[in-house]
């Protein structure tokens, strides 16, 4: 391919801004669609400090959410949080040209389905980001560590679009694991996220060490991981029991930290409850698999949301 | 009996102050042991507004916690919260004369054992209070509704001490249910308290309506009640399944309200986690009965306590 494909980032928070910068570095034209940060990015671009060096850039176009596009992008990369109030199908609609490929860099399980159903003729690439990055102020992102993407065609396989995008990300300086089974990779990531993230929220933002060291804490996490595994297996993704030990040991080796959902909660931001937990419980119910520990945490979060007038 | 027995209330919060007033009204000498509210009660007595009329009284003696008694009481009524940091055995020790009967008006399950073990030669009377009362300021109590006590000898039976005390309470104007199986009555009360109280705390102080109406909320409460029932049955107190419906229907009929543990939590006061929930889970483990819903809530509360530096 002689000319580099054009990229549109929808939802340029920390994640979207960072991966946009990588593709910009790889020589793509990179535009953004913004809501609240439109003015500041339009004026000063996106500033990113990173261990990879200064990744600041000016998007080729800065669109306001709701605007009409000048051109349709080759790849539309969606990086918004998966929340009940966010209609992702509507959000990308104005920007989906006839040959636009849709790329998700988002957390959680079973988050592709509604987009795949809405845009059946567009290739859908699903990605999991392993990255520590945060938006420190409007238009400013701090990339702290990591950055690898696990990527595959949804619901399965690896196609030329995946390969092209993977080459571009790698040219920009980050690692990509292409996978034939991206949904299986989501289950694997949820083995950790689904227990730890929501539990840390109802435990008032507890860090990993507090969760594991409280009396009965490690046993509870193990029981929750086992529940996620049972559901994954029913979905066709059996996993090795040893992953439980590996997840616990890996967590114990790291310094205590608060996961992103705990931080969202502590900072008054909405949490991806259903993407990370609710969808797992729904799938479990479909298979008739009991998940009492996961369900207790989920329903508690729903009570909190109802109390706050959010549900 | 010609002369009325002497009473000492240890822990004269809302509950202790109220039941002291009832016995005072019945003609007993009633003294109190106080800590933080010693000065105000010494000076102005205890003021109680109640639907039964003004129940204000001056205790015959006001002792400071740690003082040496002038006389040993016939009945020592312990009304402190059951908390890990509160050594109830030590608290009553200075006041336990050779013929003092120990009376507990406290919440929770298996809260008698350590006192029965420490004072095996003293009759132990266990009571459950069905009352709405709160301490509005130091030395001032508002009695809002109810007041019935369920009372029995621990671990079982009804003896003359129970009958004497019951007669005095009834003379003072409140209803008493004497029971041969006070532990069974505790299980019956815990059928409601053990699910609702701790769950309301991790749900950020949710009221009964929010708990039942959140998606999956009623089902979760039912599952938790079923777990408590299974443990009660293993302990020798089988209960009718219909009690589940009755508890749910009864709760739905009342206006939405926040239970006392939710209020304690919201007001930054310690909660009776182990008395109401932890002991139930411990007994379940002893019998090998799975209680995944109760355990998830318990461990979450432990994580919160650990995070706050309390555990």
Radius of gyration of chain B (CA): 19
Q: State the smallest CA–CA distance between residue B183 and chain A in angstroms.
A: 27
Contacts of A300 in chain B (CB under 8 A): 199, 202-203, 297, 300
Average pLDDT on A271-300 reads 98
Helix, strand, coil proportions of chain A in percent (round to 5)?
Answer: 45, 20, 35
CA angle B27, B33, B38 (to 5 degrees): 110
Q: Is a pLDDT exceeding 80 seen at residue A278?
A: yes
For residue A214, the chain B residue with the least C-alpha distance is B303
**Mean pLDDT over residues A32-40, rounded?**
93
**Is the domain covering B6-180 a CATH 2.20.130.10 domain?**
no
The CA radius of gyration of chain A, in Å to the nearest whole number, is 19
User: Average pLDDT of chain A?
Assistant: 95
Question: With an 8 Å Cβ cutoff, are A216 and B299 in contact?
Answer: yes
- The answer to whether residue B226 scores a pLDDT higher than 60 is yes
The residue in chain A having the minimum alpha-carbon distance to the alpha carbon of residue B198 is A300
Domain A184-307, CATH: 1.10.1040.10
Residue A59 pLDDT exceeds 90: yes
Name the phi and psi angles at B288, rounded to 5.
Answer: 70, 30
pLDDT at A1: 45
Model confidence pLDDT, tens digit, residues A242-264: 999 999 999 999 999 999 899 99
Which of A300, A301, A306, A311 would best serve as a mutation to test chain B binding (most B beta carbons within 10 A)?
Answer: A300
Partner-chain contact B298 A223, CB within 8 Å: no
Average pLDDT over chain B, rounded to an integer: 95
List, in sequence order, every residue forming a beta bridge with B57; answer none if it has no partner. Answer: B46
In chain A, domain spans: 6-180, 184-307
- Is pLDDT of B236 > 90? yes
Residue B1 has pLDDT above 70, yes or no: no
pLDDT in tens, B61-70: 999 988 888 8
Model pLDDT, residue B2: 52
The B-side interface with A (CB below 8 A) comprises 199, 202-207, 210-211, 213-217, 219-220, 223, 292-293, 295-300, 302-308, 311
pLDDT at B189: 95
Long-range (24+ apart) CB contacts under 8 A made by B186-190 are: B186/B108, B186/B109, B186/B126, B186/B128, B187/B109, B187/B228, B187/B232, B187/B235, B187/B237, B187/B239, B188/B232, B188/B237, B188/B239, B188/B243, B189/B107, B189/B128, B189/B150, B190/B108, B190/B109, B190/B228, B190/B232, B190/B276, B190/B280
The pLDDT of residue B299 is 98
Percentage above 70 pLDDT, chain B:
99
What is the ipTM score, two decimals?
A: 0.93
Q: Please judge whether B204 and A304 are an interchain contact, meaning their C-beta atoms are less than 8 angstroms apart.
A: yes
């Amino acid at each position: 391919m002689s000319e580099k494909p054009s990229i549109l980032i929808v939802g340029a928070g920390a994640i979207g801004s960072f991966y946009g910068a990588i593709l910009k570095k790889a020589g793509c034209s990179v535009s953004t669609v913004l809501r609240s940060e439109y003015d500041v990015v339009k004026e000063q671009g996106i500033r990113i400090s990173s261990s990879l060096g200064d990744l600041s850039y000016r998007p080729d176009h800065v669109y306001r959410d709701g605007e009409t596009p000048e051109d349709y992008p080759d790849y539309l990369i969606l990086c918004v949080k998966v929340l009940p109030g966010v209609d992702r199908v509507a959000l990308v609609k104005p920007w989906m040209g006839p040959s636009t490929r849709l790329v998700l860099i988002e957390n959680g399980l079973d988050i592709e389905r509604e987009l795949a159903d809405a845009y059946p003729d567009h290739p859908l690439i699903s990605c999991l980001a392993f990255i520590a990055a945060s938006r420190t102020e409007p238009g400013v992102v701090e990339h702290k560590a990591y950055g690898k993407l696990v990527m595959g065609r949804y619901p399965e396989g690896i196609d030329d679009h995946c390969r092209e995008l993977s080459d571009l990300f790698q040219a920009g300086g980050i690692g990509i694991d292409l996978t034939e089974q991206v949904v299986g990779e989501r289950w694997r990531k949820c083995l950790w996220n689904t227990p730890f993230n929501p539990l840390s929220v109802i435990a008032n933002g507890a860090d990993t060490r507090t969760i594991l060291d409280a009396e009965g804490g490690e046993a509870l996490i193990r029981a929750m991981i086992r529940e996620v595994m049972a559901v994954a297996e029913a979905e066709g993704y059996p996993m090795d029991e040893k992953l439980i030990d590996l997840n616990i040991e890996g967590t114990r080796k790291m310094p205590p930290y608060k996961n992103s959902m705990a931080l969202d909660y502590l900072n008054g931001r909405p949490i991806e409850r259903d993407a990370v937990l609710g969808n797992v419980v729904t799938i479990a119910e479909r298979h008739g698999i009991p998940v009492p520990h996961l369900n207790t945490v989920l329903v508690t979060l729903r009570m909190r949301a109802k109390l706050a007038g959010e549900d």
